[in-house]
Amino acid sequence: MKVAIASGKGGTGKTTVATNLAKVAAAEGCTAAYLDCDVEEPNGRLFLKPTVDKQRSIDKLLPAVDLGRCTFCGRCSQACRYGAIACVGKQVLVFAELCHSCGGCTLACPVDAIREVPKSIGELLLGMAGPIRFVEGRLNVGEAMSPPAIRAVKSSTHHAPRDDLRHTECDQYNEADLTIFDCPPGTSCPVIESVRGSDLVLLVTEPTPFGLNDLQLAVEMVRTLKLPLAVVLNRCDIGDDRVRRYCAGQRIPILAEIPDDRAVAEAYCRGQLASDAAPSFAGRIRSLLGRILKGAA
Ligand code: SF4
Ligand code: SF4
């Protein structure tokens, strides 16, 4: 089962839920994989402390123009929807930050003057956190578009040659009982790329006016994608009951309510998994796992 852990805004406890869910699932005998799709700010590794045994570049393809062949007809710039290539006099300019690597200009060129060349936009890290298969994507500082890096994280075993991973690890990833996508916050393109293909989107929120507002935006996004969704209410003993009433009205199941707990906050500050430090928290995550695996959403 593939579960995307997302939230309309940052700081709701998304990574806390994602990392502890992976840990508890593994402790309960499930095979678990944790994929950090928050490529602009990956931090799951601070808590899972994986051993990284493979590291490689994430590339995107950019057009490179052979000016010796080019007739400066301008068809490539007419074909590009993103304004990423421009034919100006006897020059063809490529704006790498705008390019979506769609290959349209290559197809449009009548004289085959364009070839696609790889450009590194980040790094992919593969390893194990105890029994948990761990994958992290890291976007280079200054790179504008994270979806290609997120795609690389989610399809890492497809991109990797078979012998790039130990056989058992590869099997463990592909056949994991639970694969967790730890998504970036918000509702924009990186989040859409991260939740795509999941069996359940778990939205982590708080019972505050900000939490409700951002939850509503996230619900709208997930419903547009026609994916099953459920809610985890973190710090459930603060704020008011508007999130609960909204979920009831929208028929969105709340799979877990997690009270504010100093032991959880202290574990977080130490870079420790809260399920190791706070037994009551671990119990709630175990119960959440049971409801997910039973298909409660
Ligand atoms: S479509 Fe090809 S030939 Fe025409 S301007 Fe672009 S690169 Fe040059
Ligand atoms: S690959 Fe696509 S986005 Fe990039 S320059 Fe060519 S047409 Fe534009």
Q: Is 5 in the pocket of ligand 2 (CB under 6 A)?
A: no
Place of tokens 């994270």: 146
- Digitized pLDDT (tens) for each residue of the chain, 297 residues in all: 999 999 988 889 999 999 999 999 999 999 999 999 999 999 999 999 999 999 999 999 999 999 999 999 999 999 999 999 999 999 999 999 899 999 999 999 999 999 999 999 999 999 999 999 999 999 999 888 899 899 999 987 643 433 444 444 444 455 688 999 999 999 999 999 999 999 999 999 999 999 999 999 999 999 999 999 999 999 999 889 999 999 999 999 999 999 999 999 999 999 999 999 999 999 999 999 999 998 754
Q: Do domains 2-58+120-293 and 60-119 have the same CATH topology?
A: no
* Cβ atoms of residues 87 and 109 within 8 Å: no
Centre a 10 Å sphere on the Cβ of residue 157 and count the other Cβ atoms it contains. Answer: 18
Residue ranges with strand state E in the chain: 2-6, 32-36, 51-65, 85-88, 91-94, 114-129, 132-139, 178-182, 200-205, 229-234, 254-258
Closest ligand to residue 109's CA:
1
Q: Provide the CATH number for the domain formed by 2-58+120-293 in this structure.
A: 3.40.50.300
Beta strands 85-88 and 2-6, pairing class? unpaired
**What does the longest C-alpha to C-alpha distance in the chain come to?**
70
| Residues in contact with ligand 1 (CB, 6 Å cut-off) | 65, 70-76, 87, 92, 108-109, 111, 113-114
Ligand number with the minimum distance to the CA of 105: 2
Is the CB of residue 273 below 6 angstroms from any atom belonging to ligand 2?
Answer: no
Q: What spacing in Å lies between the alpha carbon of 96 and ligand 1's midpoint?
A: 17
How far is 279 from 285, CA to CA, in rounded Å? Answer: 10
Which amino acid is it at 273?
A: L
Report domain extents, the chain: 2-58+120-293, 60-119
CATH code assigned to 60-119: 3.30.70.20
Ligand nearest to the CA of 74: 1
Distance CA 80, CA 109 (A): 11
Determine if ligand 2 sits within 6 Å of the CB of residue 114.
no
